Amino acid sequence: MARKRKISESSSDAFVASDSEADDAYTPKAAGSSRKASTKIAKKTRAPQKRPAQKKPRKGKDKAVDASDDDDDSREERALPHASSTHTISSTQARSIRTALLAWYDTVHEVRGMPWRKPFDHSWSAEQQAQRAYEVWISEIMLQQTQVVTVIPYYNKWMAKFPTLSELAKSDIDTVNGLWKGLGYYSRAARILQGAQKAVTELGGQLPDNAKDMEAKIPGIGRYSAGAICSIAYNQCVPVLDGNVHRLLSRFLALYTPPKAKQGLDILWEGATALIEGADRAGDTNQALIELGSTVCKVHDPLCGDCPIQPWCKAYAWRVMDEKVGDTVNPDSLVPSSEQELPDIEDLCVLCRPLPKPTLVTSYPMKVERKKAREELDVVSVIEWRPTTNANDHDRWFLLVRRPEGGLLAGLHEFPTTPNVSVSLPQNMVTFAQTALHQLIERPPAQVSQQMSPPAPSLPSPNSVQGHLSEDDLRIVKTTEAGDVLHIFSHIRKTYRVQWVLLVGGSGGGGGCGASAIDNAYSEQQHVAHGAVEQSGSGTSPPPPSLQALPPILRTTARPEQSAGSGTYKSKKPAATRTKGEWGSTTNVAEKTLDTTPLEAKWVRMNDVSKANVGTGVLKVWKQVQTLWRNIDS
């Protein structure tokens, strides 16, 4: 048994809390000193600062949770020496904790109405368990960085469209992105499709039935997701550690260390493992931990009085101890006195950092300084084509470009965009649109040099432009700034500087392209165009194919998209010629590595733009341009 050592303030030896995790975090005893010589505990504090006035406790808030600002960085710190075993859970404790946890979970598991939550049935066949694994997989990926209330309608819609893994595997990225539209983090949807197709082609049409293979073989599934899926669907005793459980166990074990440090994460995973090992209801145990962290052990204002595992919570115990000290004695009396005992020095925890004073439950987990989102400015060109300036809505087409299949907003469409440009923009922003047009259109309009025009009361008349170019020539007749749109990602603060660019003429392929090219391009899919008109709800019937005006042909071929009713006119650029930093790229302009994603663009009718597979940032840009048009009309 480890020896206990008495603590005295008279000794010159000291334990110093250190950022180092090495053994030399301790100051050794002087040579020849007695084993009974005591050790002084030094307190590591920040420079004294003025402490903020405490707020009055809010009604209904648990007494054990202090009402002061738990995000305040001006509070002093103190070291609270403790044994490493503080951060462990014994098997005996785990059984008692699990019993209390499941008793609580049985009363709340249906409260939030999650359709993917079903009790495990030991009579399920292997096929039924695999189906449950698919359902849980979809819910878990959707729930990443997304609230439950937001996910529920998306989940229901998804399962109605793709009730089984095999049905999903038959789909395509456009259909999947269409269902995912609005959830954000679109790469998740792409990985789900990839995972389903891999499971069907390589794994016998089912997800793996164990966490190890699940994590190794299915794209986008990490340790947490594999544990959640396999514990819930297969009743496998594997741990989970998402953000909610991380916070819960950091408090439960009073672990005050950088939240992403490997040694700290290892301790939390060990704690989660201890709670699940030997569980009869593995899935319910993990779901109970997640539910407890989400609804009770919240980031702010945790409901400690409602917590079923509060009797074992070490952060709560520290808080109660601090509260008992109160203002009548020195708060530093929490540091053990000469009559208190500590484990032998080899047993002391060297991971935890000094805690802020007063010690709150919300002090855990340790706060880290968030990286400031980088600022980026993109120029977005909303490029519109009309056969004539006075065309109706049915004949107004807009150019969309598909983003690469990897990275930010993977596989979604956007207006031609020049990313991460200098804040000191040239006054003539039309050059950005011209660059895009030359990359995408088979016969782009001639270069123009006129300056960006402010919003004008009306469009130029057809006669005013025909004096310079013939009606068969594609030309830019108007460029107007539409203003800035702010869109915030998790790591980027993006400003879209929007301009509206109006093209006229060049029907069916740009200057000089004969009518036969128009007819040939359109004859393959006459029913598609007709369906698009009906879908857009314009209320007008399209003219016969020979009389329909088509947008300019895109590189390298031009034909309507193959899906019925899409209202799109699509082309692919097969050669991979873009470098990262050119418009349509997904990365910083400073990175000049080759992007091998084929450049793909399409024309979309006005009434179908908002129905396309676009992100919320593009919808913001679209609304901004529509506001510009209303201002012009008024």
Residue type, 5: R
Long-range contact list for 514-522, CB < 8 A, 24+ apart?
515/546, 517/553, 518/548, 518/550, 519/545, 519/546, 521/550, 521/553, 521/558, 521/559, 521/560, 522/548, 522/550, 522/560
Q: End-to-end CA distance of the chain, in Å?
A: 86
Burial category of 1 from C-beta neighbours within 10 Å (exposed 0-12, middle 13-18, buried 19 and up): exposed
Task: Check the CA dihedral 221-222-228-234 and report its sign.
Answer: positive
Contact 493, 377 (CB under 8 A): no
Diameter over CA atoms, the chain: 105
Say which of 140, 291, 384, 414 is annotated catalytic. 140
Tell me the β-bridge partners of 492.
374
Separation between Cα atoms, residue 359 and residue 108, nearest integer Å: 30
In the residue annotation, 140 being an active-site residue is answered as yes
Give Cβ neighbours of residue 90 (< 8 Å, ≥ 6 apart): 274
Contact 583, 419 (CB under 8 A): yes
Give Cβ neighbours of residue 624 (< 8 Å, ≥ 6 apart): 482, 483, 485, 498
CA neighbor of 350 nearest in space, from 88, 87, 84, 85: 84
CA neighbor of 251 nearest in space, from 69, 87, 75, 79: 87
Contact 353, 256 (CB under 8 A): yes
Catalytic amino acids?
140
